C-alpha cells in the first residue's frame, strides 16, 4: 500500500485550462496515516455541480458530498483502488449543498511527486443525472404505449422471451378486443376512438388484481397476464366483459356504449410456457368474436 504523504509535498498545478473545463475537477492531497485526504483544488464546474462555494470545499473531506444513498461499496472500491496504486472509475449518488441528490460519474488518478510517490488524487467528475434520466426515459418510452400509458407489445414480448422470474410466474392470460372499434372511429372520429382506448385501459386496470399486468397488445387489443397463483381466468374474463358493457364511456362525443370480447387460457401440461398460454387465449378470443362478441371464451 502506498505511503500517504504530507499535504505540502508539492504545490498542486492549477491552471486556467482546468478552471475552464465543463467537467468538474477536484484534487485532494493523499492525506496521512491518521487523516483522510482533503480538497486542495476545485474548478468552477464542481461548484456549479454541487452548489458549494470553492471556499466551502477547500480543506474539507470530499466525503462532504456523500449522503444516505451514496453507495458505500463503490466508495470502498475507490479507496482500495487508490491504496493499491490503481486509478478508479465509478458512479454513485452524491448530494448538493441544498440536500438534493444527483448521480455522479467520476474517475480518479494519482499525480506523483518527483520521487514517484502519490502526492495528489485528481478526480474528473460529471453530473450524470440528466443523461441517466434521458436514458431511463428512452427505455421507458420504448416499453410504454404512448396513448394509454400501459406496457406495450414490445414490453410483453420482452417479458415472455426473457425466461425471467416474471415470465415463469405467468399462469394465465386474457386477450381483450374492443368490439366494432372501426365503427367507433368511422362514426365519431379517431380522436374519440383514442379516448375510448384510454378509458378502456383504465377500466381494465381497475378490473384486475394489483399484481397482474395489463398491456396494450396492439390496435384495439389488450392483454392481461395473471401473475402468481392459478386463479381461474375465465372468471376474470367474464367480469371484464361485464364491467365494460355495464357502464357507458364518457367521451367528448357523449356517452358511448362499448363492448369487448375476451379469450382466456391457463397453464396446463401442454401449455407450460407463457407464450403458448397467450396464444391459446388469442384463439379463445377468436371464438368469442365468431360467436357474436360481447362475451368471454376460455381455451378448452
Q: What order of strands is seen across the sheet that includes strand 24-29?
A: 39-42, 24-29, 118-127, 101-112, 88-95
Which of 218, 295, 299, 290 is closest to 259 using CA atoms? 295
Cell numbers at residue 180, please?
366494432
Rounded distance, CA 171 to CA 226, Å?
A: 6
- Closest by Cα among 101, 85, 84, 107 to 26: 107
Instruction: Sheet with 221-227: list strands edge to edge.
Output: 213-218, 221-227, 170-178, 260-266, 296-298
| CB hemisphere CA count around 60 (13 angstroms) | 14
Is 220 catalytic? The answer is yes
Strand partners, 260: 178
Between CA 273 and CA 281 the distance in angstroms is 13
Q: What are the CA-CA distances from residue 162 to residues 217, 264, 275 (Å)?
A: 18, 22, 11
Residue 53 contacts residue 47 (beta carbons within 8 Å) = yes
CA distances, 3 to each of 37, 60, 83 (Å): 13, 21, 9
Q: What string of DSSP letters covers 240-295?
A: HHHHHHHS-EEETTEEE---EEEEEEE--SS--SHHHHHHHHHHHHHHHHHTTSS-
Query: Which residues neighbour 272 within 8 Å (Cβ) at sequence distance 6 or greater?
Result: none
Among the listed residues 35, 114, 139, 220, the single catalytic one is 220
Residues known to be catalytic: 220
Amino acid at each position: 500500500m502506498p505511503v500517504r504523504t504530507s499535504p505540502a509535498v508539492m504545490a498542486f498545478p492549477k491552471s486556467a485550462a482546468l478552471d475552464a473545463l465543463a467537467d468538474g475537477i477536484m484534487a485532494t492531497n493523499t492525506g496521512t496515516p491518521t487523516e483522510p485526504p482533503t480538497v486542495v483544488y476545485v474548478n468552477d464546474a464542481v461548484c456549479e455541480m454541487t452548489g458549494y462555494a470553492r471556499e466551502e470545499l477547500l480543506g474539507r473531506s470530499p466525503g462532504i458530498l456523500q449522503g444516505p444513498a451514496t453507495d458505500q461499496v463503490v466508495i470502498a472500491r475507490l479507496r482500495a483502488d487508490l491504496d493499491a496504486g490503481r486509478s478508479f472509475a465509478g458512479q454513485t449518488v452524491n448530494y448538493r449543498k441544498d440536500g438534493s441528490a444527483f448521480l455522479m460519474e467520476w474517475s480518479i488518478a494519482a499525480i506523483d511527486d518527483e520521487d514517484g510517490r502519490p502526492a495528489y488524487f485528481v478526480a474528473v467528475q460529471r453530473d450524470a443525472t440528466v443523461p441517466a434520466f434521458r436514458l431511463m426515459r428512452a427505455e421507458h418510452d420504448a416499453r410504454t404505449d404512448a396513448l394509454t400509458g400501459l406496457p406495450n407489445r414490445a414490453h410483453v414480448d420482452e417479458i415472455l422471451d426473457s425466461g425471467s422470474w416474471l415470465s415463469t410466474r405467468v399462469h394465465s392470460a386474457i386477450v381483450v378486443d374492443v368490439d366494432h372499434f372501426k365503427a367507433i372511429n368511422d362514426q365519431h372520429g379517431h380522436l374519440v376512438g383514442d379516448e375510448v382506448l384510454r378509458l378502456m385501459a383504465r377500466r381494465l386496470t381497475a378490473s384486475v388484481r394489483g399484481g397482474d399486468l395489463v398491456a396494450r397488445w396492439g390496435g384495439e387489443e389488450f392483454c392481461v397476464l395473471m401473475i402468481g397463483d392459478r386463479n381461474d381466468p375465465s372468471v376474470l374474463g367474464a367480469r371484464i366483459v361485464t364491467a365494460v358493457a355495464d357502464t357507458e364511456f364518457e367521451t367528448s362525443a357523449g356517452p358511448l356504449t362499448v363492448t369487448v370480447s375476451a379469450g382466456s387460457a391457463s397453464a396446463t401440461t401442454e401449455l407450460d410456457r407463457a407464450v403458448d398460454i397467450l396464444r391459446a387465449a388469442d384463439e379463445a378470443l377468436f371464438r368469442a368474436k365468431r360467436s357474436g362478441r360481447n362475451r368471454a371464451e376460455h381455451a378448452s
